[in-house]
A and B are shown apart, each in its own frame.
Chain A
């Protein structure tokens, strides 16, 4: 019996050592790569926000995060300069009915309480002390899973761009909603037009498709071409991707709801952001 039990101990010991060594190696790799993962996620977002808003050196971007405090039934906004570590921010608290509870400065690095449920994010571009544009994060249930997207708005809430940043739609079908030609259809529509936006399964006119493809390959904000085309098409519904009406409708409804909600929230929030906007 003795040699057998010794062998069992040896096996158990070597497995334990192997697991511990594996876990230790992974811990080291995790610590080493996590910094880069966060940095590259931040960089991707910065790049998206910068190109969608046409940022130049005179613009600063403020990130506003919205939370729900379920027990006190409050909505909390935390604003801070985007991607500037160590900068002071501002916290504005409303009741669920929209009544102001309080607004105060937020020290840098103030942790988010665990009870807060994140609701969404907005990036505000500030030029000459005024809000010149917004990028609002939105989400919609697509064909397979959630589609996450950014909607860029000008100061007057006209759509400046839509960019799908995460989706699991089928390549060749639903995945087409992430292409520039589809998203280009939203550009230039006013908030009132977006509120009434519908989707059609009619085929997209060839000249309009060609113009959208050409536009999507140019640098964003490089000036309006095809003015007559834009004037003609802007009054029309969004043309669905062929074979992917559900995905197209999901993005369109998502954009509509996102813009509508953001306008109502901004009307409440803007006066209380103090020096930030």
Chain B
């Protein structure tokens, strides 16, 4: 499995992080954990808070799994992973509620729902249960960062065009496209951003004139889980 994901010699931390941000970006490439990508991205700050929460849960769960995997019976692997994730999510949920009450009030439900995010458990199963501690840490870091940056990008897009502000500071007069901050606007924002990334990739591929092997199915392919 690992060799399928990363052919060649053991990946360096830098490769692992870049992999999470670009090649296997959870939102734009793997199309996983889309719910918060639409739900909390009406502003940059909301996206930042949830992104940091996911980053923390991913890294902490990956590290925990590599540390305790010797003790886990293989038949109950997935339930135990779920417990580990649930514990970290609860802990971070409580910490955010205690230290960032104002922001937490807006994204609280989605922080709790990190438990059901497919991206986290799939990284545990695919990577952290097979790799040593250090690569697992950087893989979790890369995935979390990829998620965080995707949320920031969508949040910035919607806040800039929808409310004419950035991180709460008004920079444009009025509201250019108020529609984008509405519930329905979130779906259109993601459609536009995904199409934009697909377009960039198609251009890059054409630039290489097909010398490199075609990249894996892009965001165009839907992944069930």
Chain A 7-47 interface residues, beta-carbon cutoff 8 Å to B: 7, 10-11, 14-15, 18-19, 22, 25-26, 29-30, 33-34, 36-37, 40-41, 44
User: Is A44 within 8 A of B101, CB to CB?
Assistant: yes
Question: In the assembly, what is the distance between CA of A34 and CA of B102, in Å?
Answer: 16
* Contacting residues, chain B, for A107 (C-beta < 8 A): none
User: Is B90 within 8 A of A37, CB to CB?
Assistant: no
Cβ-closest chain A residue relative to B94: A33
User: Is B94 within 8 A of A172, CB to CB?
Assistant: no
Listed by A's residue number, 20 A-B pairs whose Cβ atoms lie within 8 Å are A14-B71, A14-B72, A18-B84, A22-B83, A25-B91, A26-B87, A26-B91, A29-B90, A29-B91, A29-B94, A30-B94, A33-B97, A36-B99, A37-B101, A40-B101, A41-B101, A44-B101, A171-B163, A172-B162, A173-B178
* Contacting residues, chain A, for B95 (C-beta < 8 A): 29, 33
Query: What does the 1/0 interface line of A142-166 toward B look like (CB < 8 Å)?
Result: 0000000000000000000000001
User: Is A172 within 8 A of B175, CB to CB?
Assistant: yes
- Given A26-B90, A29-B91, CB of A166 within 8 Å of CB of B105: yes
Chain B 63-102 interface residues, beta-carbon cutoff 8 Å to A: 71-73, 75-76, 79-80, 83-84, 86-87, 90-91, 94-95, 97-99, 101-102
User: Is A15 within 8 A of B79, CB to CB?
Assistant: yes
User: Is A15 within 8 A of B182, CB to CB?
Assistant: no
Report if A170 contacts B (CB, 8 A): yes
Given A33-B97, A34-B94, 11 additional A-B pairs, CB 8 A:
A11-B75, A14-B71, A15-B76, A18-B83, A30-B94, A33-B98, A41-B101, A44-B101, A166-B105, A170-B182, A172-B42
Contact partner, B76, options A11, A22, A33, A37, Cβ 8 Å: A11
* Contacting residues, chain A, for B83 (C-beta < 8 A): 18-19, 22
* Contacting residues, chain A, for B182 (C-beta < 8 A): 170-173
B interface vs A, CB < 8 Å?
Answer: 42-43, 71-73, 75-76, 79-80, 83-84, 86-87, 90-91, 94-95, 97-99, 101-102, 105, 162-163, 175, 178, 181-183
A interface vs B, CB < 8 Å?
Answer: 7, 10-11, 14-15, 18-19, 22, 25-26, 29-30, 33-34, 36-37, 40-41, 44, 166, 170-173
Nearest 3 A-B pairs (CB), nearest first?
Answer: A172-B181, A36-B98, A37-B98
* Contacting residues, chain B, for A25 (C-beta < 8 A): 87, 91
How many Å from the CB of A21 to the closest CB on chain B? 8
Q: Which of A25, A37, A44 has the most CB of B within 10 A?
A: A37
* Contacting residues, chain A, for B84 (C-beta < 8 A): 18, 22
- Given A15-B79, A29-B94, A40-B101, CB of A10 within 8 Å of CB of B73: yes
Cβ-closest chain B residue relative to A8: B75
Cβ-closest chain B residue relative to A242: B178
How many Å from the CB of A233 to the closest CB on chain B? 21
Contact partner, B178, options A22, A40, A172, Cβ 8 Å: A172
How many Å from the CB of B157 to the closest CB on chain A? 14
Contact partner, B98, options A18, A40, A166, A173, Cβ 8 Å: A40
User: Is B94 within 8 A of A37, CB to CB?
Assistant: yes
* Contacting residues, chain A, for B73 (C-beta < 8 A): 7, 10-11, 14
* Contacting residues, chain B, for A173 (C-beta < 8 A): 178, 182
Cβ-closest chain A residue relative to B185: A172
Question: In the assembly, what is the distance between CA of A214 and CA of B75, in Å?
Answer: 64
Question: In the assembly, what is the distance between CA of A171 and CA of B165, in Å?
Answer: 13
* Contacting residues, chain B, for A171 (C-beta < 8 A): 42-43, 162-163, 181-182
How many Å from the CB of A68 to the closest CB on chain B? 27
How many Å from the CB of A187 to the closest CB on chain B? 22
Cβ-closest chain A residue relative to B183: A170
* Contacting residues, chain B, for A37 (C-beta < 8 A): 94, 97-98, 101
Q: Which of A10, A25, A33, A166 has the most CB of B within 10 A?
A: A33
* Contacting residues, chain A, for B80 (C-beta < 8 A): 14-15, 18
How many Å from the CB of B167 to the closest CB on chain A? 14
